[in-house]
Amino acid sequence: MTTLALLTTALLFGGMVLYSFGFAAFLFTALPAETAGPTIRRAFPHFYLFVIAGAAVSAVLLALSDPIGALIMAAIAATTVPTRQKLMPAINAATDAGDKKRFALLHGVSVVITLIHIVAAAYVLHRFIG
């Protein structure tokens, strides 16, 4: 179980980093903005489902061997749900309305949440060393 927990947590960490710093950035440099924007909008719901599922599975696998790590991963899963269900639609609505100030604020919140999730997953990975 510990090996599966490690692999699941590492997959989640790597996936979040790759998506946040690789895929999203790549789309906006490789495609015109009018294509990149709608593409990234379609991809985000899947990204959030990946985070919810990966963190939840990791939490279950860690429950017996690392209760603190399990709690952190469960918190990642739990906080991603409102990010996906409430924050993401609000970001999209701000974009659709052309409200750049609201978009910047909400997008900034989503970036901070994702960075916290990445750091939290990294911390859980670090706990495997200890």
Checking if the pLDDT of 130 tops 80, the result is no
pTM to 2 decimal places: 0.94
Whether residue 94 contacts residue 103, with contact meaning beta carbons closer than 8 Å, is answered with yes
Convert the pLDDT of each residue in 80-108 to its tens digit.
999 999 999 999 999 999 999 999 999 99
Convert the pLDDT of each residue in 58-70 to its tens digit.
999 999 999 999 9
pLDDT tier at 50, thresholds 50, 70, 90: very high
Residue spans per domain, the chain? 2-129
Q: Which residues, 6 or more positions from 28, have their beta carbon under 8 angstroms from its beta carbon?
A: 36, 40
- Which backbone phi and psi does 28 adopt, to 5 degrees? -75, -15
**Dihedral of the CA atoms 8, 73, 52, 28 (nearest 10)?**
-80
Whether residue 28 contacts residue 36, with contact meaning beta carbons closer than 8 Å, is answered with yes
